[in-house]
């Protein structure tokens, strides 16, 4: 049942993922971004680069969204009870509602893109 729901989400989200991939293609390492379109295995998503990805997945019963990203290197908050090191990978799994809207899907993709845009990147020096 969840695989059928994933197929319904796929029809709405794959055009968004392809548009984002084309927008980010000039800024990515060779071979990225990759649109993952395998609803038969329960996975649809976008890999911006090796550290930033979003997957809409089904475990056979439920739908989830997995966000993979790196914690910002400039985030050095810590406390006595836990340490948080910048640059550590994060895996954020969230359940998707059965009646997920297009806006919700778009916002999840936008969250991934915002996380990628906020990372300290390589500065390209060009003649002006």
pLDDT at position 95 over 90: yes
CATH 3.30.1460 correct for 2-118: yes
* Predicted pLDDT at 74: 55
* Predicted pLDDT at 127: 52
Q: Are 66 and 92 in contact (CB under 8 A)?
A: yes
0.75 exceeded by the pTM? yes
* Predicted pLDDT at 84: 60
Work out the pLDDT band at 120, boundaries 50, 70, 90. low
Q: Where are the domains of the chain?
A: 2-118
- The beta-carbon contacts of 14-19 under 8 Å, at least 24 apart in sequence, are 14/44, 16/105, 16/106, 16/109, 17/44, 17/45, 17/46, 17/109
Two structure tokens written together for 75:
């985030």
| Beta strands at 52-58 and 89-95: parallel, antiparallel or unpaired | unpaired
- Encode pLDDT of 33-87 as tens digits: 999 998 888 899 999 988 899 999 988 888 999 999 887 655 555 555 666 666 6
* Predicted pLDDT at 35: 95
- Encode pLDDT of 100-110 as tens digits: 999 999 999 99
* Predicted pLDDT at 50: 85
């Amino acid at each position: 049942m969840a695989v059928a729901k994933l197929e319904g989400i796929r029809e709405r989200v794959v055009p968004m993922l392809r548009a984002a991939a084309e927008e980010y293609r000039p800024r990515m390492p060779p071979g990225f971004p990759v649109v993952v379109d395998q609803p038969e295995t329960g996975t649809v998503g976008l890999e911006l680069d090796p550290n930033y990805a979003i997957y809409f997945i089904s475990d056979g019963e439920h739908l989830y969204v997995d966000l993979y990203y790196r914690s910002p290197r400039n985030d050095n908050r810590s406390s006595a009870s836990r340490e948080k090191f910048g640059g550590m990978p994060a895996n954020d799994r969230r359940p998707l509602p059965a009646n997920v809207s297009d806006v919700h899907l778009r916002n999840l993709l936008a969250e991934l893109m915002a996380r990628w845009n906020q990372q300290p990147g390589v500065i390209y020096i060009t003649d002006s």
